[in-house]
């Protein structure tokens, strides 16, 4: 009996003193209990909160290189944000008729037209190497006027699909193609235009695509000029002091061009063609091109020929292409009439008078011919043949 009691006391003595109070005072662990939802929670029809966490992305593709110019990168990022805002407002139909007409002059190529008008002399005609790479979405222009995140039933799964490296495989399904103006660090989607804005909305940072490098003129080759023509202020961009394009929306173009190193707009040179003549030539070029362009060298030659054609010079009636002689009247009056007079004189008068009539008739005909051929009148050169 004493042995059992001592054993029991020794067992309790071996237990730590700190364990006994925790077992009593600590409430049951929450994870061990099962709680049922309340009636209000079961009847609540509020949709579950949307998962806004970024789509996880892992890639083995290299990232497309952009110039290490912080000011230029900032300007490009702002341009991308502005384009995104324009797409959202235009999608609601609030900008109908307010956007530059060249942006919608080529259905299906609206994004390309946007780039050509905002970034003068940007072109994809001369292309460099095409590689599979990931393009930072903050530098990528898209066209989100057709659909966006709100139009997708399962946005996360679609975002993971569109952001995967397989979209950069040549010949693959849902391929993405991107044009990259390497000197500027501006890219735009050639294929898969709407996915850029969608992936940005999903928190994705880069897009896998077939990236084609494009050249762009150096900043020293570009000049900006502020002009007033047609009752409005315009900004013209001139490449190599010859090719001229008007900036459709200077507020979008100037920040990027300035950050690129192009000098601020200057006054139009006085020894260049008059702005009114350049503006008229731009209007003529706009009829056949989405982005009108004027060759200043050809325009100077055209203006010189036009001014020369306005000069007054001596000419004959035969040189006037706007004057058409009445040949039947001419033959009848200047040849037929002298011949009749000569015949009458030969029949009615002696030989001496006959000779005089012949001389008079020949002189009359010669004078008529001289009146047509001799430069005895003045006319403008443009009216001469």
Measured in degrees and rounded to the nearest 5, phi and psi for residue 57 equal: -140, 130
Q: Model-level pTM? A: 0.67
Q: What is the 3-state secondary structure (H, E, C) of 270-307?
A: CCCCCHHHHHHHHHHHCCCCCCCCEEHHHHHHHHHHHH
Q: What mean pLDDT comes out for the span 247-275?
A: 94
- Out of 46-55, 103-112, 265-274, pick the least confident: 46-55
Helix (H) or strand (E) holding 343: helix 337-348
Give one word for 171, left, alpha or beta, with left for phi > 0 and alpha for psi -120 to 50.
left
Q: Are strands 232-239 and 312-315 parallel, antiparallel or unpaired?
A: unpaired
pLDDT at 19: 40
Is residue 10 over pLDDT 60? no
Is residue 198 over pLDDT 80? yes
16 band by pLDDT with thresholds 50, 70 and 90 = very low
295 band by pLDDT with thresholds 50, 70 and 90 = very high
pLDDT at 210: 94
Is residue 55 over pLDDT 60? no
Tokens at 171, concatenated: 């010949």
- Out of 30-39, 216-225, 247-256, 353-362, pick the least confident: 30-39
Tell how far CA 217 is from the center of its chain: 16
List, edge to edge, every strand of the sheet that includes 266-267: 266-267, 222-229, 232-239, 243-246, 294-295
Tell me the three state secondary structure of residue 121.
coil
Q: Across the chain, what does the average pLDDT equal?
A: 77
In whole angstroms, give the CA distance from residue 91 to residue 194: 12
- Out of 20-29, 360-369, 370-379, pick the least confident: 20-29
- Out of 24-38, 113-127, 339-353, pick the least confident: 24-38
Do 157 and 150 contact (CB within 8 A), yes or no?
no
Q: Closest by alpha carbon to 168, among 110, 212, 112?
A: 212
Q: Pick the more confident residue, 203 or 36.
A: 203
In whole angstroms, give the CA distance from residue 296 to residue 239: 10
Is residue 320 over pLDDT 80? no
Q: What mean pLDDT comes out for the span 345-356?
A: 61
pLDDT at 3: 38
Task: Provide DSSP, 32-86.
Answer: GS--PPPHHHHH--PPPPP--SPPP----SPBPP----HHHHHHHHHHHHHHHHH
Tens-digit pLDDT profile for residues 73-88: 999 999 999 999 888 8
């Amino acid at each position: 009996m004493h042995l059992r009691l001592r054993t029991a006391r020794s067992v309790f003595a071996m237990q730590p003193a700190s364990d006994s109070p925790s077992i009593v005072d600590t409430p049951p662990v929450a994870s061990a209990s099962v709680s049922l939802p309340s009636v209000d929670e079961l009847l609540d029809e509020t949709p579950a909160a949307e998962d806004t966490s970024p789509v996880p992305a892992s890639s083995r593709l290299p990232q497309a290189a952009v110039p290490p110019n912080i000011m230029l990168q900032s300007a490009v990022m702002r341009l991308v944000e502005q384009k995104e805002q324009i797409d959202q407002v235009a999608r609601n139909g609030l900008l109908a008729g307010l956007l530059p007409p060249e942006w919608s002059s080529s259905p299906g190529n609206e994004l390309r037209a946007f780039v050509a008008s905002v970034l003068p002399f940007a072109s994809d005609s001369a292309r460099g190497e095409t590689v599979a790479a990931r393009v930072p979405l903050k530098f990528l222009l898209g066209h989100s006027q057709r659909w966006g995140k709100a139009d997708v039933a399962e946005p996360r799964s679609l975002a993971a699909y569109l952001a995967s490296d397989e979209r950069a495989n040549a010949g693959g399904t849902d391929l993405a193609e991107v044009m990259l103006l390497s000197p500027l660090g501006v890219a735009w989607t050639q294929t898969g235009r709407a996915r850029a804005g969608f992936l940005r909305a999903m928190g994705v940072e880069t897009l896998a695509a077939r990236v084609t490098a494009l050249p762009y003129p150096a900043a020293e080759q570009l000049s900006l000029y502020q002009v007033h023509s047609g009752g409005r202020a315009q900004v013209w961009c001139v490449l190599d002091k010859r090719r001229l394009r008007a900036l459709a929306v200077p507020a979008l173009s100037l920040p990027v061009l300035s950050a690129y190193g192009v000098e601020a707009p200057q006054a139009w040179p006085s020894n260049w063609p008059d702005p009114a003549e350049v503006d008229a030539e731009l209007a003529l070029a706009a009829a056949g091109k989405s982005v009108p362009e004027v060759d200043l060298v050809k325009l100077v030659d055209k203006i010189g020929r036009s001014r020369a054609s306005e000069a007054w010079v001596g000419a004959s009636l035969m040189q006037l292409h706007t004057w058409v002689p009445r040949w039947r009247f001419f033959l009848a009056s200047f040849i037929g009439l002298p011949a009749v007079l000569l015949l009458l004189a030969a029949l009615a008068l002696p030989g001496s008078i006959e000779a005089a009539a012949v001389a008079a008739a020949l002189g009359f005909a010669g004078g008529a011919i001289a009146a047509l051929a001799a430069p005895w009148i003045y006319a403008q050169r443009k009216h001469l043949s």
